Amino acid sequence: MNDDFLFADEPDEETPLSEAQGSSGQWKVMIVDDEPEVHAVTKLALNDFSFQGKSIEFISAYSGAEAKALLAQHPNTAIILLDVVMETDDAGLLVAQYIREELANTHVRIILRTGQPGQAPERQVIVNYDINDYKSKTELTAQKLFTVVMSSLRSYRDILAIDHSRQGLEKIIHASADLFSAHSMEQFIDGVLQQLTSILGCNDDALLVTSSLVAGNPAEDTDPEHLIVFAGMGEFEKREGQPVTEVLENSLLQAFYDALKSKAIVYKENYLVAYCTSKFTHGSLLYVSGLPGQISDSQKKLIELFSQNVQIAYENVQLQNEIEDTQREIVYRLSEAVEHRSIETGNHVKRVAFICYDLAKAYGLPEDEAEKLMFASPLHDVGKVGIPDGILNKPMKLDEREWEVMKTHASIGYEILKNSKRAIIQAGAIIARDHHEKWDGSGYPAGKKGEDIHIYGRIAAIADVYDALRHRRCYKSAWPLEKVIDTIEKGSGSQFDPQLVTLFKSRVEKLEAILKKYPDSDEDDVR
């Protein structure tokens, strides 16, 4: 297009064009105009422009099509000075539409410049297109160009800050969700260190130290001498369990003391120490090094928010572990109480639990399923509470009537446990019901066959029989290993799942080690 002007005459007043130096880099400004002179004069007018210590990097496009291509290469363009009429009368408007709708770029500030306002009336353009300013070249002096670029960059800066804060908050939300969903200290610590280094954009050394290792046992005045390394990354990866005074050099240790004393976050040149506390416990500290330059105020707010959540999540994991440990202990003690009605039993339920876990892992069950089976398997004979002592402890073979009574313990156990909403107790109900079913359908209580028998029951069956045969009972002596292996092998395909029998034979050494580790109280070893 042909314009009779490039900029209107300047007033005499001078205005400074630079601000105090800040961070390094450049603001990208794209000039889209089919007149080379417009590019030249725009660059000249903004030659010494500076905002927050950043100068301008100019990108030139001489058509709408070229502008679209360059935008793909420079998605972080801050401002587009966009002519309306170029290869077509609406080329600039199509570029604006492309930016907002196809590229979905809402950050870049679009300033329309036109020498022919009649081609694109301002009111119509502002309403129909998502642009940020509209300037006629007859009014756009160098001073006004400076003003519009300055205000647009400030808007762009603020938009980026808001977006970065949003992204940071999203990370905090996801990080907190991950931390609160952790069911082990290992998961929790990995989550804390990884998420914090992600939020800060660093991946160097990180450390968590604490004196509050027991939930609900706060130390109001934390003694730095009692702080220990709870988890570490980088150079601290192998230092877990060591006193912090032995791990940290004096300058870093002083930062830890400062954070404890001030109960705040201490920022140094390339690292931070964050004090983490909640209403329950006190004294945990997070250390992260390798910070990517100066920490902004928004990042500091995110770190504060994150550090507040860390201690709460830490307690959440502790309480979760406490609940799970309590549940497991109750299961063990209940099972042992039932087993102790048979005066010759000792660590039977504990051995069966570990044998079940080993076979479950070998069978290919996921870790959580194998653990569930391990914790639930002690309940396999809980139904024996309903069996009279005279039958339960009879030193001779049971008669037919007594045997029918004894077999009811599987159904009794299932009925006791089946209505629980707890996963471990539900698994216990399944095991109690199915661990006397047989592969060929000749078992009890329901005569289930093959894979109709729950895998928990099939595994518990072989674990229970193996342990029972290897130990003394009121009606028999302990069997030697060779005889037990032979008996279980003969039961493959009839009493036991053939695949589990194969796995059992391949893991006999490990299973024997479990028996030796948890002997009955009245024996030093199995035969």
Percent of the chain with pLDDT over 70: 71
d(CA 168, CA 147): 31
Pair of tokens at residue 526: 């199995």
Instruction: Give alpha helix (H) positions in 102-184.
Output: 122-128, 142-181
pLDDT band at 201 (very low <50, low <70, confident <90, very high): low
CB 240 within 8 A of CB 232: yes
Say how many C-beta atoms besides its own lie within 10 A of residue 109's C-beta.
Answer: 22
Domain locations in the chain as residue ranges = 26-162, 182-319, 340-517
> Can 26-162 and 182-319 be said to share one CATH topology?
no
Average pLDDT over residues 512-523: 82
Q: Does the pLDDT of residue 113 top 60, yes or no?
A: yes
Q: Which of 186-195, 265-274, 394-403 has the highest mean pLDDT?
A: 394-403
The answer to whether domain 340-517 has CATH 1.10.3210.10 is yes
Torsion from C-alpha of 70, 72, 76, 77, nearest 10 degrees: 30
pLDDT band at 175 (very low <50, low <70, confident <90, very high): low
Map 404-444 to HEC letters: HHHHHHHHHHHHHHCCCCCHHHHHHHHHHHHCCCCCCCCCC
**pLDDT at residue number 258:** 85
CATH class in words for 26-162: alpha beta
Q: Is the peptide bond before 366 cis (omega within 30 degrees of 0)?
A: no
d(CA 360, CA 80): 63
Q: Does the pLDDT of residue 179 top 60, yes or no?
A: no
**Considering 384, 407, 505, 510, which one is annotated as catalytic?**
384
pLDDT band at 438 (very low <50, low <70, confident <90, very high): very high
Tell me if residue 505 is catalytic.
Answer: no
- 0.75 exceeded by pTM: no
Q: Please tell me the CATH code under which domain 182-319 is placed.
A: 3.30.450.40
Q: Does the pLDDT of residue 327 top 50, yes or no?
A: yes
**pLDDT at residue number 221:** 42
